């Protein structure tokens, strides 16, 4: 599935729910059809909800075998049904799936909050036809036995890889594609790889939604969110390298949005420097000309025009009280005596 820009969206479009009804699919079946690319969606703007063009619906409805053929392409089965479909014991299918031979396409949590994996029925039958030895040989492949002996379970890892691939298929926008890869990394790895906070915020805003699984509760969402994160060091390294590549493409396409005051403007450096530099800064020692008075020796005049003593400018700390401030004001009002020199410090 690919998204399009505003200029590419032509003709009538309908919402995803309406499209599912017109295609005679349940909402879960329709979502999976979209993720697998069987149903193409369009989007009027970045961040807008995807929709389905009416001509796309007509194309699918006019295909041969509709709607049974489309339903069969998105039919998913669990372990028990999969073992019956392949005519193998359930424990053998589970061992093959844990060893990485079958890749889940969906998952959900049962009432005990245990992850239940679902597989595409069409993929299972195709794999059985291409590799019948997996189902008939008495001994499993040596690599599979090594993984099982080490207690490894490849189902979560394979599901994450498939999910990343499906997310990349759902958009042509480079930043959205990078956000799909970034969703498999935790905050620590993401901060280490993406040092710009505005880029991290942009990736977070474009982050795909957490996979919807039942039951819908905070505890269930926490389990699924943790399941979406890469675990093994080599898996984390793969996502980091893939994200770095997608970020390079995204940055070349357009920069991440940031506040106006953070964007450097051409020709403003000299102006900002001139504004920041006060007018009373003394000239360098090597330059000729009179030296301006120091800030601590600025002279004041009373209302009658008489010159007063130089006043020392002191910073009043919050805990020092107002005694120094009162003394400074009193000295401001004191007339300068003729006996004192004009250069004498207060």
Is residue 50 one of the residues assigned to a domain? yes
- Whether residue 273 lies inside any domain: the answer is no
Among 255, 289, 322, identify where a domain stops.
255
Give the mean model confidence (pLDDT) for residues 6-18. 74
User: Quick one: pLDDT at residue 112?
Assistant: 87
Long-range CB contacts for residues 112-117, cutoff 8 Å, separation at least 24: 113/219, 113/220, 113/223, 115/156, 115/223, 115/227, 116/78, 117/78, 117/79, 117/155, 117/159
| 309 inside domain | no
CA distance 207 to 192: 18
Integer Cα distance of 76 and 78 in angstroms: 7
Percent of the chain having pLDDT more than 70? 71
Structural domain contains residue 186:
yes
Task: Assess whether 131 and 163 both reside in one domain.
Answer: no
d(CA 78, CA 267): 64
Give the residue, 271 or 146, on which the prediction is more confident. Answer: 146
Does pLDDT of 49 surpass 80?
Answer: yes
Domain boundary among 237, 255, 273: 255
Expressed as residue numbers, the domain containing 249 is: 157-255
Residue 332's pLDDT band, with cuts at 50, 70 and 90, is: low
Same domain, 177 and 101: no
pLDDT, tens digit (0-9, with 9 covering 90-100), for 200-224? 999 999 999 877 666 677 888 889 8
178 and 221 both lie in a single domain = yes
Task: Answer yes or no: pTM beyond 0.75.
Answer: no
Q: Is residue 213 part of a domain?
A: yes
Work out how many domains the chain is built from and give that number: 3
Provide mean pLDDT across the span 135-150: 92
């Amino acid at each position: 599935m690919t998204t399009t820009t505003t200029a590419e969206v032509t003709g009538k479009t309908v919402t995803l729910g309406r499209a599912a009804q017109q295609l005679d699919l349940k909402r879960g079946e329709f979502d999976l059809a979209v993720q697998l690319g069987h149903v193409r969606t369009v989007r009027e703007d970045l961040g807008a909800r995807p929709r389905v063009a009416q001509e796309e619906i007509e194309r699918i409805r006019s295909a041969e075998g509709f709607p049974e053929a489309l339903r069969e392409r998105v039919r998913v089965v669990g372990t028990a049904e999969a073992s019956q479909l392949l005519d193998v014991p359930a424990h053998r299918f589970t061992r093959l799936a844990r060893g990485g031979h079958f890749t889940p396409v969906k998952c959900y949590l049962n009432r005990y909050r245990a992850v239940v994996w679902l597989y595409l029925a069409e993929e299972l039958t195709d794999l059985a036809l291409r590799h019948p030895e997996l189902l008939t040989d008495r001994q499993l492949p040596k690599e599979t036995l090594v993984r099982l002996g080490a207690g490894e379970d490849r189902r979560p890892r394979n599901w994450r890889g498939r999910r990343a691939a499906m997310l990349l298929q759902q958009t042509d926008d480079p930043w959205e594609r990078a956000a799909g890869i970034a969703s498999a990394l935790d905050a620590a790895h993401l901060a280490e790889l993406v040092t710009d906070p505005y880029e991290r915020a942009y990736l977070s805003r474009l982050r795909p939604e957490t996979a919807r699984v039942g039951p819908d509760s905070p505890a269930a969402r926490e389990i699924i969110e943790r399941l979406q994160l890469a675990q093994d060091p080599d898996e984390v390294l793969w996502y980091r390298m893939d994200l770095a590549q997608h970020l390079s493409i995204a940055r070349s396409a357009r920069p991440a949005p940031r506040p106006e005051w953070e964007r450097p403007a051409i020709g403003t450096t000299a102006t900002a420097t001139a504004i920041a530099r006060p007018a009373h800064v003394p000239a360098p020692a090597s330059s000729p000309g009179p030296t301006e008075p120091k800030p601590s020796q600025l002279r004041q005049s009373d209302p009658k025009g008489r010159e007063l003593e130089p006043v020392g400018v002191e910073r009043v700390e919050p805990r020092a009280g107002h005694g120094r401030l009162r003394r400074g004001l009193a000295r401001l009002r004191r007339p300068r005596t003729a006996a004192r020199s004009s250069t004498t410090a207060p």
